[in-house]
Structure 1
Amino acid sequence: MSDSKTALRQAAKIQRATLNEAQISDYSRRIRDHLIPVLKGKEPVLVYASKCPEVDTLPLIEWLLEEEKTVVVPIIQREDCSLRLSYLSDPAVLVPSTFQVPEPIGHEVPADPSEIQVVIVPMLAFDAAGNRLGYGAGYYDRFLARHPGLLTIGLAFSCQEFDSLPAEENDIRMDRIVTEQGVICCREDAE
Structure 2
Amino acid sequence: MPKHHLRRAMLEQRRRLSDPERALLGLHAQKMCLELPAFVAAGVIALYAPVHNEVETSLLLTTALAAGKRVLFPVVAEKGLEFRRVSTPAALCPGKFGIKEPTAECDLYQPNDIEFFLVPGVAFDLSCRRVGYGKGYYDKALHELEGQGRMAGFCYDFQVVEAIPAAPHDVQMDMVITDRRVISFPGQFT
Normalised to the residue count of structure 1, the TM-score between the two structures is 0.91
CA shift, 1:106, in A, is: 4.6
Question: Following superposition of structure 1 onto structure 2, how do residues 5-44 of structure 1 map, counting pairs within 5 Å?
Answer: 5-38=3-36, 39-44=39-44
State the secondary structure of the residue aligned to 1:40.
helix
1:140 to 138, 141, 148: 138
Which residue identity lines up with residue 85 of structure 1 in the other structure? F
In structure 1, the partner of 2:75 is 75
8 Å Cα contact 2:15-2:52 kept in structure 1? no
Q: Following the alignment from structure 1 to structure 2, what is the Cα–Cα distance between the partners of residues 102 and 111?
A: 17
CA shift, 1:43, in A, is: 2.2
State the secondary structure of the residue aligned to 1:45.
strand
Q: Following the alignment from structure 2 to structure 1, what is the Cα–Cα distance between the partners of residues 90 and 179?
A: 26
User: What RMSD over aligned residues (CA atoms) do the two structures have, in Å?
Assistant: 1.7
CA shift, 1:36, in A, is: 1.1
Q: Following the alignment from structure 1 to structure 2, what is the Cα–Cα distance between the partners of residues 58 and 16?
A: 18
Question: Following superposition of structure 1 onto structure 2, how do residues 19-168 of structure 1 map, counting pairs within 5 Å?
Answer: 19-38=17-36, 39-77=39-77, 79-80=78-79, 82-148=80-146, 149=148, 151-168=150-167
Q: Following the alignment from structure 1 to structure 2, what is the Cα–Cα distance between the partners of residues 144 and 172?
A: 7
Residues 85-116 of structure 1, C-alpha deviation per residue, up to 9 Å, x if partnerless? 11110111212211121112254221233321
Residues 23-62 of structure 1, C-alpha deviation per residue, up to 9 Å, x if partnerless? 1111111111100122121120011122241101122111
8 Å Cα contact 2:114-2:150 kept in structure 1? no
Q: Unpaired runs of 5+ in structure 2?
A: none
Change (3 A) 1:131 1:147: closer
In structure 2, the partner of 1:189 is 188
Q: Unpaired runs of 5+ in structure 1?
A: none
Normalised to the residue count of structure 2, the TM-score between the two structures is 0.91
Q: Following the alignment from structure 2 to structure 1, what is the Cα–Cα distance between the partners of residues 127 and 16?
A: 24
- Number of equivalences: 187
State the secondary structure of the residue aligned to 1:53.
coil
8 Å Cα contact 1:144-1:150 kept in structure 2? no
8 Å Cα contact 2:111-2:141 kept in structure 1? no
